[in-house]
Amino acid sequence: MDNRGFKVILFALGICILSSCEINTPDSDSPSKPSAEEAEPAKINSTEDNSSKQTEERISKDTLRFNRAFQDAWKKAELNFDSPHFSKEYYFYPDDSSYAIKIEILIGNLFTDSEKYFLLRRHVPWATYLNLYQIRNGKAFKILERKQSEMSYRSDTIFDVNGDQINDFVVHWHPVSGCCRRNIYSVYLKKEDRSFSSAYRFINPTFSPEEHIIRGISYGHPGEAGLYKFKWNGLAVDSLEFIYRNTSRKDQFIKTSKAKYKPTASEGEILKEIPEEYLQIESIDWFEA
């Protein structure tokens, strides 16, 4: 990577504050079993009206409810580990609970034709929990787990993000606070050795796997947010260019090799129009506004 390149995750973290919890667990040779750690929900903070004892009781009840839901989902999935494909979506209603837990189970050749995976989604009012396992010889081996908090989860999908002909795992989410558009995509690359990378975060991206390119729009108000272009370089991401409006001339744009805030004409190359390659990307309307 040349001195212009840098990890896109650092850029994304630098331009916005992201609120999520991501855990990437390496492959293990030992099969997984449903555990209290995987089943336990996020702890609930006490309020001024709740005593410490009441809060502890609430946490204990929620943990028990969530554990029951996890065990129920695991049993249903385990019965189908040998099936070529299985999917089920249902609501689990814990006893004496004011909320339902939505559970989604998906088993099949999700990433390659030769490997079987088990994806478990659990949705509760305060978060979405994602667990991914690989199934080998009727046993489940943990690949990764993720908690998406504060109702920021939008969806997850599986496709080849970087153009290496291997499907990857992508989580789409949007922070619940902030002034501007922030469609965040957390990307877990599937590697040739069966493991997955840690998450890369991209803001307002449009992926072009055939080019190994990511184009997108950074965080900020219209007129301040810039276009960016990154390129996959193995497991790294190189920055290629950034394009901003010329704040001194509304009919001009400025292309730079590094991320800048309101760059001047002397800090980059003057463009008279937006390059055509950016005109079809998602959220281009935000840049043009």
- Per-residue pLDDT 10s for the chain (289 aa) are 444 443 333 333 333 333 344 545 444 455 676 654 555 443 333 334 445 666 666 667 778 888 899 999 999 999 999 999 999 999 999 876 678 999 999 999 999 999 999 999 999 988 999 999 999 999 999 999 999 987 899 999 999 999 999 999 999 999 988 899 999 999 999 998 889 999 999 999 999 999 999 999 999 998 889 999 999 999 999 999 999 999 999 899 999 999 999 999 999 999 999 999 999 999 899 998 7
pLDDT for position 15: 38
- The pLDDT, as a whole number, for residue 34 is 60
- Which residue is listed with tokens 């336990």? 40
Q: How is the chain split into domains, by residue range?
A: 1-19+154-289, 21-41+52-151
* Residue 98, pLDDT score: 77
- pLDDT of the residue at 105: 98
State whether the Cα torsion 30-35-41-47 is positive or negative: negative
Contacts of 226 (CB under 8 A, 6+ apart): 217, 218, 220, 242, 243, 244, 259, 260, 287
Tokens of 106: 């998906």
C-alpha 271/C-alpha 273 separation (Å) is 6
- pLDDT computed for residue 45 by the predictor: 38
8 Å CB contact between 220 and 14 = no
Backbone angles phi, psi at 72, to 5 degrees: -65, -45
Classify residue 28 by burial, with Cβ atoms within 10 Å: 0-12, 13-18, 19+.
exposed
Q: For residue 30, what pLDDT is reported? A: 59
Long-range CB contacts (within 8 A, 24+) of 60-64: 61/96, 61/97, 63/36, 63/39, 64/94
Give pLDDT, residue 114.
92
Rounded Cα distance between 204 and 39, Å, is 32
pLDDT reported for residue 51: 55
The burial of 143, by beta-carbon neighbours within 10 Å (0-12 exposed, 13-18 middle, 19 or more buried), is given as: buried
| pLDDT, position 52 | 65
